[in-house]
Amino acid sequence: MLRSVLALVSVVFSFTPAFADNWPQWRGPKNDGHSAETGLVSEWGPDKNIVWELKLPGSGSSTPCIWGDRMFFTCMDGGDVLLMSVGTDGKEKWRKVLGGGNIRTMGDEGGNLATASCSTDGKLVYVLAGSGKLAAFDFEGKEIWSMDLAEKYGDFTKGNVIQFGGHWTPVLHKDRLYVAVMHRQAQKLIALTAATGKELWSVDRKSDSPPRVESPDVYCSPFVWEKGDKSLIIVHGNDYCTAHDPADGHEVWRVTELNPKANYNRTWPARAA
């Protein structure tokens, strides 16, 4: 997690003769969490293998995405969520306020409003704040488009609608952006044109979870499975794991009994991201 100091990512760049591969989103270039880099530093500490440190305005739980010599991530500044651009030399390029407010989260137990990680295609940076703002910025910090997920897909920012805040990292695949919006007022998977934010489709992701349980509070982010020319959007949460066709969002398959009906856990939100 990012806290109030950014330091660890600098290790990757200090021991390689050239820039490492881009890390365009939370799960990496292939959406599988793997890197092709070798010989990376495996140990670090306050006085070991740290090249630079940058003090941040506040804490954050997002992971930086990296393109060339730029890193992008979110952090808190008081009650606001900031999108920050920092060079791999540790120098801040710019910061933008994404909004915030008095939205109840559970602190270190469940993150904060700067929990969803950014994604980038080298042209734009896509970011979601826990306040509900989903936006795209260019590399110079200009906002290209934005939308309010809480306004469009059910407000999850008031009261105790979703205990730990909206954590859904926007997943980039080819020219589309996929976002799961899953809380007690909505269970949606949406696809947007990355360049413009235009909604291409929105599908209900059904579940038979009983009322007054935590299962609809989903904190996981979708990921893209690929094999050859085939791909699926995989979504976990609200008692099921489902696969969806990227073309129109229709459900291809689902895994059941993740929360067994015979021994149902009423406090079982999906927290693995």
Q: What is the pTM of this model?
A: 0.88
Q: What is the mean pLDDT of each run of 10 residues along the chain (273 residues)?
A: 52 43 87 82 86 90 92 92 95 92 56 88 95 95 95 76 79 95 91 98 94 86 92 95 97 95 86 54
Contacts (Cβ under 8 Å, ≥6 apart) of 60:
1, 2, 3, 73, 74, 75, 76, 112, 114, 115
Indicate the SS3 state at residue 173: strand
Q: What is the pLDDT of residue 91?
A: 95
CA–CA gap between residue 110 and residue 64 (Å, rounded)? 18
| Domains parsed from the chain with CATH numbers | 5-263 (2.140.10.10)
Answer whether 253's CB lies under 8 Å from 242's CB.
yes
Backbone angles phi, psi at 201, to 5 degrees: -160, 160
Q: What share of the chain is helix, strand, coil (3-state, %, to 5)?
A: 5, 35, 55
Which two three-digit tokens encode residue 235?
A: 């979504």
Which two three-digit tokens encode residue 221?
A: 């982010």
Q: What is the pLDDT of residue 219?
A: 85
Q: What is the pLDDT of residue 180?
A: 93
